[in-house]
């Protein structure tokens, strides 16, 4: 029998349901001959999962590209602001296609890692306190917790990005240190920002993070052909389950969670957002391409690949 | 308020090596202390900047994370030299002469093996974040403003390398004390009773008025 | 051999090497490393040729731990809180506090010991680390107690025990660590520690007065201070109030407005104010350098334990020992309160062998979810819960209980960090002496903990005002 150790972090949540489902499927389809032992934080810190894969300490792991851009520059293209991805299914398809791009494969091969599947997340949006912004101009001078590309995007409309660890976010919002926090809905719920928040932006959609699941390439090669086939063929089923779960459980809980707490939904007009996108998206994309070309990546090609797929998919 | 050092000195080669290494260790510990001070100043600037200018320090958390290895590791050998890493001396405290030095030799040797393996492990951790072919030689960067992490990771094996030198010296001293049956070897921290005598002797010689030593 | 058995054997090895006198941080580190090698080698069926592979993977796995675990913003509070303690010493605050406490309280039976407790409680309001507090007061209070005839064991014991107040009365590094591990509001936890901390000080005081009344030649009262002398002692101690106010306002604004920042910043600003005060009082580079070196030494000692224990914890993760414990605990058929009490007792036993931070780091990932589940889950209402409090309130209550237990462990043999530090500062006092002297305070702590369990409002009243 083969048992793989899987390193993830936090606790079991929507974000890890595809891995849990994959474990069930493998167990069923190999009659218990190939199993996954999923560890929540026991095997590695959440920013060292690629290191652990590279060493061979465990066989499978999940991580987010934005935690350490220099470890995985090629997939950070999916974290650029305002790519215009419409839903989880599209996020999944684009990620899966990108993960097969030779430059991306080579980038992760530096870590002895093979990309297995994405963990698609919806667009980030801001939960805030104080007067709800009526227009984007109201963000001028507002202190927001937003990191990386999303922080840079918010800066173009005059917001002041503050950096702090996720665990200090609630305190910072309570204390008025920041007036807004940018997270995906499940994180707004688990880090408690909606307990204090008074409004939520429905359609700012400045971007998201890309969090793949990878496997150690030696371990993958060492699998029997039969087990490897079962693993690869179970990925799509696991992802179907994940997306259903996120849409039906998390997003279904999100609306009522907002209503219960009387949180105001703020929606911006399409014209306004268009101006924001033009101001923020283009410079960020250009900077990304320039920086990653310097690394020796075919950055323009990767960017065109992603934006091309989104254009085809339609909005 | 510096506590009395528990390490005996004389003009033997071992003692000179001990004091030579101590200079390096003191420098490293001072860097660690200055990093704590810098952390404090950074917070003052951050709070001041935010309140007075509505302009917080970009990447405040990233900078703190960069400073932490300086604080946590640079002083490790100095602390070992002074016998500052805590232990339970209920048993060893009752040993004397050869039995004591044998016990010290055994535990120090184990620590030396651990630290040599960790120099390897932490250096490998550094190497995974370091790539000369990349901009800023970086293969791992911080979350918010993308600082290269390799310098901070390199601090760990460097500091651990220094404590390995210290442990080698201590292993040598303990081994020689086992062989020669020395009562109070130079260059290693002595435990309470012997140390008290040593401190008192030192005080009479130098006229040190440190009130910590009085009974 | 299955991984649980390996886990238990390696844990036994660690305890034995600690008892044999190996320095704790390294005993934990080497146990973790040996355990990792064992686990990885067992996966290859102990094939002799696979040993170097197992060694390499284990060493590299352990080698990630020091940097990755120490580079955290939350842990940066620890050196800052320690630095405040040393700077306050140079600012004359500790002496001023002790002098004021002496003039106002030393007339009661056991007066100098009582004064020590109150001066330490006052100092706790600027110091976030118990060991640093004990270290400072070992220098100030012990000589005075010895001078008027206190037993040196008891004098050392008072300082070691009173030092633990620093971790309940905010600021507190260990409450921050708890909040980070269980992902709860740091501010609410810091606030919740205040009343139990003061409460503990009163229980210590009652114990000392009781001992002074019953034991012959315990240590005389100190009388004869005039009211003028008493009031004259207050102004030098007053700056401490300013620092307390600043730190509290960075956590929570009692007047309902915005807090001024985060606890991390509050700690640093507090340190900066004390630094300016020390400059004003004549601290110059040589003294500052000494304070920085001492801060470095104590911080390094704590951080070395943290990463050493975390290498061991990483091994436990691979051995899945916490998971096995969690399954076992939740399968028990017992009243929740009884289970809670048994967990607290288990902490008392574990704490005999471990330091406070290591113990919390080691156990909370397993124990905290179990406690929350016992109460009815994170989102349970007070009415529907087992302990009669909502999920977040239960997290705060348990946090204070567990930190009080961890502080208790700082004074219990064989590994009681505070006692080691007091003995370290005073070469004439052995660790065994301190352990003997601190023993009466075990009773005081047991009473305090029992009352905090029986009357949760002592803990929860203040944070529920937030
Ligand atoms: Na305190
Ligand atoms: Na203890």
Q: How far is CA C310 from CA A141, C303, C324, in A?
A: 42, 10, 19
* Average pLDDT estimate for B175-179: 95
Choice between A177 and A131, residue whose per-residue pLDDT is larger: A131
Residue C306 touches chain A, beta carbons under 8 Å: no
Q: How many Å apart are CA C466 and CA A253, to the nearest integer?
A: 27
Q: Helices in C410-439 by DSSP H: which ranges? A: 417-425, 431-438
* Tally of CB atoms within 10 A around C4: 14
Q: Are strands A180-183 and A143-145 parallel, antiparallel or unpaired?
A: parallel
Residue B205 touches chain C, beta carbons under 8 Å: no
Beta carbon pairs, A and B, within 8 Å: 59
Cα of B111 from ligand 2 centre, angstroms: 22
Note the pLDDT of residue C76.
Answer: 85
pLDDT at C83 over 90: no
Residue B35 domain flag: yes
Note the pLDDT of residue C439.
Answer: 92
Residue B201 domain flag: no
* Average pLDDT estimate for B167-196: 84
* Average pLDDT estimate for C220-249: 82
pLDDT 10s digits, B28-38: 999 999 999 99
Note the pLDDT of residue B90.
Answer: 67
Residue B32 touches chain C, beta carbons under 8 Å: yes
Q: How many Å apart are CA A161 and CA C373, to the nearest integer?
A: 37
Residue B198 domain flag: no
Note the pLDDT of residue A165.
Answer: 66
> Residues C463, C188: contact at Cβ < 8 Å?
yes
- Token code pair at residue A78: 């999916």
Choice between C323 and A217, residue whose per-residue pLDDT is larger: A217
Beta carbon pairs, A and C, within 8 Å: 80
Protein residues near ligand 1, an ion, with CB under 5 A? C 124, 166, 169, 172
pLDDT at C387 over 70: yes
pLDDT at C87 over 70: yes
* Average pLDDT estimate for A291-310: 96
Q: What is the ipTM of this complex?
A: 0.91
* Average pLDDT estimate for C434-458: 92
Report chain C residues whose CB lies below 8 A from the CB of B152: 67, 71
Report chain C residues whose CB lies below 8 A from the CB of B122: 63, 66-67
pLDDT at C425 over 90: no
Residue B1 domain flag: no
Q: How many Å apart are CA C164 and CA C172, to the nearest integer?
A: 10
B22-25, long-range: CB < 8 A, 24+ apart? B22/B78, B22/B81, B24/B77, B24/B162, B25/B75, B25/B77, B25/B78, B25/B81, B25/B162, B25/B166
Note the pLDDT of residue C324.
Answer: 74
Question: Residue A162 in 3-state DSSP?
Answer: strand
> Residues C94, C278: contact at Cβ < 8 Å?
no
> Residues A212, A15: contact at Cβ < 8 Å?
no
Q: How many Å apart are CA C240 and CA C122, to the nearest integer?
A: 8
Residue A67 touches chain B, beta carbons under 8 Å: yes
pLDDT bracket for residue C256 (50, 70, 90)? low
pLDDT at C452 over 70: yes
DSSP track, B186-213: TTSBPPHHHHHHHHHHHHHHHT---GGG
Query: What proportion of chain B, given as a percentage, has pLDDT over 90?
Result: 60
Residue B206 domain flag: no
Note the pLDDT of residue A215.
Answer: 98
pLDDT at A105 over 60: yes
Residue B137 domain flag: yes
> Residues C345, C400: contact at Cβ < 8 Å?
no
When divided into structural domains, chain B yields a total of: 1
pLDDT bracket for residue C177 (50, 70, 90)? confident
* Average pLDDT estimate for C143-161: 90
pLDDT at A263 over 90: yes
Q: How many Å apart are CA C236 and CA C409, to the nearest integer?
A: 34
* Average pLDDT estimate for A59-72: 94
Report chain A residues whose CB lies below 8 A from the CB of B128: 51, 54
DSSP track, C127-148: ---HHHHHHHHHHHHHHHHHHT
Residue B167 domain flag: yes
Note the pLDDT of residue B98.
Answer: 92
Note the pLDDT of residue C144.
Answer: 86
Residue B157 domain flag: yes
Q: Name the average pLDDT for chain A.
A: 92
DSSP track, C272-324: HHHHHHHHHTT--HHHHHHHHHHHHHHHHHHHHHHHHHHHHHHHHHHHTHHHH
- Token code pair at residue B83: 């016998």
pLDDT 10s digits, C5-37: 998 899 889 878 877 888 888 998 999 999 999
Q: How many Å apart are CA B56 and CA B36, to the nearest integer?
A: 20
Range of the domain at B41: 13-193
- Name which of C356, C414, C365, C364 is nearest C129 in CA terms: C356
pLDDT at C209 over 80: yes
pLDDT at C321 over 60: yes
- Token code pair at residue C109: 């039976």
Q: How far apart are the first and last CA of chain B?
A: 16
Note the pLDDT of residue C148.
Answer: 83
pLDDT at B209 over 70: no
């Amino acid at each position: 029998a083969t048992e793989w150790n899987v390193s993830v972090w936090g606790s079991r949540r929507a974000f890890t349901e595809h891995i849990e489902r994959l474990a069930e499927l493998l167990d069923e389809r190999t009659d218990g001959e190939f199993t996954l032992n999923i560890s929540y934080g026991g095997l590695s810190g959440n920013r060292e999962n690629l290191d652990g894969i590279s060493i061979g300490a465990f066989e499978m792991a999940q991580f987010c590209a934005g935690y350490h851009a220099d470890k995985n520059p090629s997939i950070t293209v999916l974290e650029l602001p305002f790519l215009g991805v419409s839903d989880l299914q599209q996020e999944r398809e684009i990620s899966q296609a990108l993960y097969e791009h030779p430059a991306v494969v080579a980038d992760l091969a530096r870590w002895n890692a093979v990309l297995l599947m994405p963990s698609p997340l919806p667009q980030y949006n801001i939960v805030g306190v104080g007067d709800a912004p009526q227009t984007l101009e109201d963000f001028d001078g507002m202190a927001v917790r937003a990191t990386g590309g999303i922080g840079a995007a918010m800066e173009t409309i005059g917001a002041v990005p503050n950096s702090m660890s996720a665990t200090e976010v609630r305190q910072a919002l309570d204390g008025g240190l920041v007036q807004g926090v940018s997270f995906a809905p499940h994180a707004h719920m688990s880090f408690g920002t909606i307990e204090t928040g008074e409004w939520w932006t429905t359609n700012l959609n400045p971007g998201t993070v890309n969090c793949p699941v990878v496997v150690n390439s030696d371990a993958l090669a060492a699998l029997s052909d039969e087990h490897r086939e079962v693993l690869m063929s179970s990925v799509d089923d696991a992802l179907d389950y994940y997306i259903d779960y996120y849409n039906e459980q998390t997003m279904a809980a999100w609306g009522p969670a907002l209503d219960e707490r009387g949180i105001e939904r703020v929606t911006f007009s399409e014209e306004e957002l268009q101006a924001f996108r033009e101001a923020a998206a283009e410079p960020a994309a250009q900077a990304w391409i320039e920086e990653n070309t310097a690394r020796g990546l075919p950055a323009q090609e990767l960017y065109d690949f992603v934006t091309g797929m989104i254009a085809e998919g339609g909005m | 308020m510096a506590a009395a050092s528990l390490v005996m000195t004389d003009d033997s080669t071992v003692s000179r090596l001990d004091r030579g290494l101590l200079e390096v260790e003191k420098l490293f510990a001072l860097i660690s202390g200055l990093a704590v001070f810098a952390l404090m100043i950074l917070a003052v600037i951050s709070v001041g900047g935010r309140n007075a200018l509505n302009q917080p320090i970009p990447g405040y958390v990233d900078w703190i994370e960069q400073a932490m290895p300086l604080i946590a590791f640079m002083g490790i050998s100095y602390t070992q030299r002074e016998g500052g890493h805590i232990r339970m001396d209920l048993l060893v405290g009752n040993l004397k002469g050869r039995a004591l030095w044998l016990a010290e030799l055994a535990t120090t040797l184990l620590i030396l093996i651990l630290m040599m393996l960790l120099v390897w492990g932490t250096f490998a951790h550094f190497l995974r974040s370091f790539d000369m072919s990349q901009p800023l030689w970086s293969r791992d960067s911080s979350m918010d403003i993308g600082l290269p992490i390799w310098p901070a990771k390199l601090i760990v094996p460097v500091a651990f390398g220094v404590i390995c030198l210290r442990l080698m010296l201590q292993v040598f001293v303990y081994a020689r004390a086992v062989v020669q049956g020395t009562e109070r070897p130079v260059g290693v921290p002595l435990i309470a009773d012997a140390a008290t005598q040593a401190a008192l002797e030192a005080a009479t010689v130098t006229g040190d008025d440190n009130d910590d030593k009085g009974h | 051999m299955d991984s649980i058995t390996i886990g238990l054997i390696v844990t036994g090895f660690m305890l034995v090497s600690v008892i044999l006198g190996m320095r704790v941080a390294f005993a934990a580190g080497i146990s973790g490393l040996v355990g990792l090698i064992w686990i990885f080698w067992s996966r290859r069926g102990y094939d002799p040729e696979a040993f170097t592979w197992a060694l390499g993977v284990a060493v590299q796995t352990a080698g990630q731990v020091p940097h990755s675990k120490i580079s955290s913003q939350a842990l940066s509070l620890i050196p800052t809180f320690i630095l405040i303690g040393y700077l306050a010493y140079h600012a004359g605050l500790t002496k001023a506090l002790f002098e004021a406490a002496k003039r106002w309280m030393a007339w009661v039976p056991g007066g100098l010991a009582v004064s020590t407790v109150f001066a330490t409680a006052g100092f706790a309001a600027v110091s976030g680390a118990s060991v640093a507090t004990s270290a400072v007061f070992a220098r100030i209070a012990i000589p005075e107690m010895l001078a008027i005839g206190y037993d040196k064991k008891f004098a050392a014991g008072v300082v070691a025990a009173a030092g633990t107040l620093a971790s309940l009365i905010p600021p507190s590094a260990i409450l921050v660590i708890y909040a980070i591990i269980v992902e709860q509001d740091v501010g609410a936890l810091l606030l919740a520690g205040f009343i139990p901390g003061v409460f503990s000080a009163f229980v210590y005081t009652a114990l000392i007065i009781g001992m002074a009344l019953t034991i012959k030649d315990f240590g005389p009262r100190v009388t004869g201070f005039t009211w003028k002398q008493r009031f004259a002692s207050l102004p030098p101690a007053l700056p401490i109030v300013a620092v307390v106010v600043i730190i509290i306002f960075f956590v929570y604004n009692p007047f309902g407005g915005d807090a001024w920042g985060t606890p991390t910043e509050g700690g640093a600003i507090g340190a900066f104010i004390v630094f300016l005060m020390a400059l004003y009082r004549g601290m110059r580079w040589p003294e500052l350098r000494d304070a920085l070196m001492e801060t470095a030494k104590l911080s390094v000692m704590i951080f070395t334990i943290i990463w050493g224990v975390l290498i061991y914890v990483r091994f436990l993760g691979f051995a899945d020992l916490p998971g096995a414990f969690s399954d076992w605990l939740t399968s028990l058929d017992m009243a929740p309160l009884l289970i809670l009490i048994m967990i607290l007792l288990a902490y008392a036993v574990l704490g005999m062998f471990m330091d406070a931070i290591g113990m919390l780091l080691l156990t909370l990932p397993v124990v905290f979810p179990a406690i929350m589940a016992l109460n009815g889950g994170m989102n349970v209402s007070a009415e529907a819960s087992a302990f009669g409090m909502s999920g977040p309130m239960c997290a705060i209550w348990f946090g204070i209980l567990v930190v009080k237990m961890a502080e208790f462990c700082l004074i219990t043999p064989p590994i009681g960090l505070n006692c080691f530090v007091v003995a370290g500062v005073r070469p004439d006092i052995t660790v065994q002496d301190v352990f003997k002297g601190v023993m009466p305070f075990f009773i005081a702590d047991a009473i305090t903990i029992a009352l905090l369990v029986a009357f949760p409002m002592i803990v929860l009243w203040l944070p529920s005002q937030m």
